[in-house]
């Protein structure tokens, strides 16, 4: 988040800035905050040791987000170069 929106001073403000910048779609906000962020908090502060199935689910949630933020735009620009222009 900090890479994209800078350090806003605390974790909650970083999350809010990330949401406000549009990196997480409104329909994804609950899953992002209630599942991903909460799993991270639980692992760091409450001894949460997720099962392999839970880890797989968390990765299924985060991988498309990482792809959208860091890779799709670059690939789309490359693909656009190969599209013939209008005559």
For residue 52, being part of any structural domain is answered with: yes
- The answer to whether position 13 is within a domain reads no
Q: Residue 1: inside a domain, yes or no?
A: no
Residues 6+ apart with CB under 8 A from 16: 8
Q: Model confidence over 45-76: pLDDT tens digits?
A: 999 999 999 999 999 999 999 999 999 989 99
Joined together, the tokens standing for residue 76 give 């789309």
Summarised one tens digit per residue, pLDDT across range 8-31 is: 999 999 999 999 999 999 999 999
In a domain, 65, yes or no: yes
Residue 36 lies in a domain: yes
Q: Which pTM was predicted?
A: 0.76
Q: Give residue 87's pLDDT.
A: 80
Angle at 59 between CA 72 and CA 17, to 5 degrees: 60
Distance between CA atoms of residues 5 and 15, nearest Å:
9
Domain count for the chain: 1
In a domain, 58, yes or no: yes
Q: Domain limits at 54?
A: 26-81
5 domain-assigned: no
């Amino acid at each position: 988040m900090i890479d994209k929106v800078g350090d806003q001073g605390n974790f909650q403000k970083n999350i809010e800035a990330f949401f406000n910048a549009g990196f997480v779609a409104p329909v994804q906000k609950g899953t992002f905050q209630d599942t991903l962020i909460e799993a991270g908090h639980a692992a760091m502060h409450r001894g949460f040791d997720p099962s392999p199935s839970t880890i797989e689910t968390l990765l299924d949630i985060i991988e498309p987000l990482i792809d959208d933020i860091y890779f799709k735009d670059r690939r789309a620009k490359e693909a656009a170069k190969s599209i013939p222009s209008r005559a």
